[in-house]
Chains A and B, each alone.
Chain A
Amino acid sequence: MIFLPHDRTSQREAAQLVRNRIMPNSYDLVALAILAALIVLLAHGASAMRAPAAVLSAAPVTLDIANLPEYALRTTLRMFAAIIASLLFTFTVATLAAKSRRAEMVIIPALDILQSVPVLGFLTFTVTFFVGLFPGSQLGAECASIFAIFTAQAWNMAFSFYQSLRTVPRDLDEVSRGFGLSAWQRFWRLEAPFAAPGLVWNTMMSMSGGWFFVVASEAITVGNTTVQLPGIGSWLALAIDKQDFRAVGWAVLAMGILILLYDQLLFRPIVAWADKFRFEQTASQQKPRSWAYDVLRGARLVKILVAPFAWVWQRLMLVRLGRRRAAPAAANPTVSRLIDRLWLGFVLVIALWGAWTAVSYMHRTLGWSDVTEAFGGGLVTLVRVVVLIAIASLIWVPIGVWIGLRPAVAERVQPLAQFLAAFPANVLFPFAVLAIVATGANPSIWLSPLMVLGTQWYILFNVIAGASAFPADLKEAAAVFKLRSWSWWRYVILPGIFPYYVTGALTASGGSWNASIVAELASWGNTKLEAFGLGSYIARATEVGDFPRVVFGIAVMSFFVTLFNRTLWRPLYVFAERRMRLD
């Protein structure tokens, strides 16, 4: 449906509009060119993905600059495939969890645990599994890589969607039921739009985390199998192997351009579009803007191209899938409780069986020394995460506050902070490794900062957001009562940004655990640096294809992350919600 802007008043503008109807406008040219380019690239990349595996060995990844754009494209396509898979997962699994109480009992705790499982650990199995699934085709390795990115993205998106579905406003729910919207109509008219802002934000966070994993998952060595998928990650792995410093620089540049393009062409338009789904009934103060979105909206040819899809969409909206829901009659409580018990019992049996299988599998090869090594390493990694987050907070909280309180500065720095958070830090690792090798510093200490290299920016940009949102009247009150230095920090700004800080630090610490797997074991050519920790334990086991140790390492790390979240971050979160909300 196309609506003309309603604030059109003058004759001149009306005339302009009529002429625009016929003549393609300048927006059209830009938009069409970009769209055509995207379609061509998509087709090219997709056909390359299905190439037989032999192509990989016949034409291995080379450090030829001419190939870099192609590699960048392939990396991007992997990202998109993963995000589409994540969205499908979100729409189905989260919806199921929100609609069915019994599915919810299983799905929600499962998602909670999956969130804390180190993604990179998965690679070992998934490569073996997917390569077996598509023998002789590159698709197997592609799927493994995409799956790795998927596992880094899907959980928080599903969580966000589930929470939105559970908090659909009661009156809108009643309108929908009163008019007898079918389940299908209800989903697209009420539930999906209501969930959109949260989902878009979470997808953005997921994508920015995803670059890290796409780089880590393209070049994989599992035991004797080495797969190098054409992409920036493989380019980087090769550059490290060949000790080619210039090639690493090119990778950094390519990655930067890629993230910039992705941000400008995809994310900003989507955020600008999703603004209309915000539930607050007041007109927003500052609308998110995007030139790409304006171009798309301004282009009349684009509208003509989109019209058939809009028509199909309209038809689809009339489809009455699912019965009209009758008023929820009170179900027989005793029967329902009985089914609940049976279901819970069934889940419990499955879980016990799973635990037994896992333990007996690991028991065959693992000894007590593994237990002490993994848990000891876990403690060391835990200390690293805590210390590094503390140091990063000490540095970035004051800077973030300083920036956030100055809107003009914040406007410029905030996109930069978001860019840095999305930039895969593993691309920068070689520089650090080189420095450690050159100076002969202790890797157990100096490899650690790599863990927060990419994740510290979450702290920065959340603190900036918090300080920017700090109410002006409280700032003025603090100024009137002459609160200075420590008392200003203690009573005014720190409580004011606390909820934002907790969000940032939580994201940062989660990312750091994941990063430990690549940060604690780094190499440059033949030089290998290793820091003692759980991350290096998993990384070493992966390299030699020692599955039981990988499983065990992942389990221990999941345990640590879950414990850390439950005992520190969640209570802080609850505290921030209860005591420091400013609305």
Chain B
Amino acid sequence: MLLAFDWTQLAQQTVIGLSAGGLWALLALALVLIYRSTGVVNFAQGEMAMFSTFIAWSLIHHGLSYWQAFFLTLAISFAGGVALERVVIRPVERAPVLTVVIVTLGLFFLVDGAARWFWSSETRTLPNAFSTRPITVAGVAFSIQDLGNIAVSLGVVALLFALFQFTKLGLALRATASNPDESRLVGIRVSWMLALGWGLAAAMGAVSGMLTAPALASFDQNLMQPVLLYAFAGAVLGGISSPFGAVVGALLLGVFVNLIGTYVDWIGTDLRLPVALAVILGVLLVRPAGLFGRASARRV
């Protein structure tokens, strides 16, 4: 195997891995956004993204172009995320963390059920966002779709970074995440900031879903379940409290999973996730707060 080692293949597989990892990174970032402000992993994040993708499918079905539907779906998802937080999460804001986790599990079944109710369970397709024509860079052929996915993922991450770092709203969001009580004292409407976080997370999930679906031959309501698993694993690998870590973690995971799937025969598709999780467990045992997470110090 070593003799036949092919740098072209390695480069191609790395880009394919980055492309998948980029889409996981968006969902991982959505998880981190909600985790930082409420300390809860939103198990329904993937199903919400799937629901958004079905909305996009309906819009395209009614004659909109892919990108028109894309931006319209973003707006709808944002509003939907805010609404969900107001209706479902706000009543349990002060309940124990595990109670909120169970509520998001309930939300998982609810959103999944709603999607099966509104749209029949037949498989469907979404048009490609980018041309699938390959382009050649330095003798290596890449698909434009993979490069486009990477570009959009990085673009969204950059936009989000700018929002958090350079705007007053972003400052309020960060303040809410780090100290809700004192934020309330300086006049930030903490509860609405949480709702806004849910809206942003829903919109990011929507991007992830709308880019994941075209890459598949067809999709149904199970579209985002594997993506959520990888996003969760990637976010924890990078450190669930660090947005930067989540993105890097998901990208690393994407490349790693794709490369072991390509080069290690006995793993195949079945054992990819367990092997990836085992490696992550190994990393976590050395760095218990993830690669980029900071161990939280607490006064006792």
Same complex for A and B? Answer no
Interface residues of A (CB under 8 A from B): none
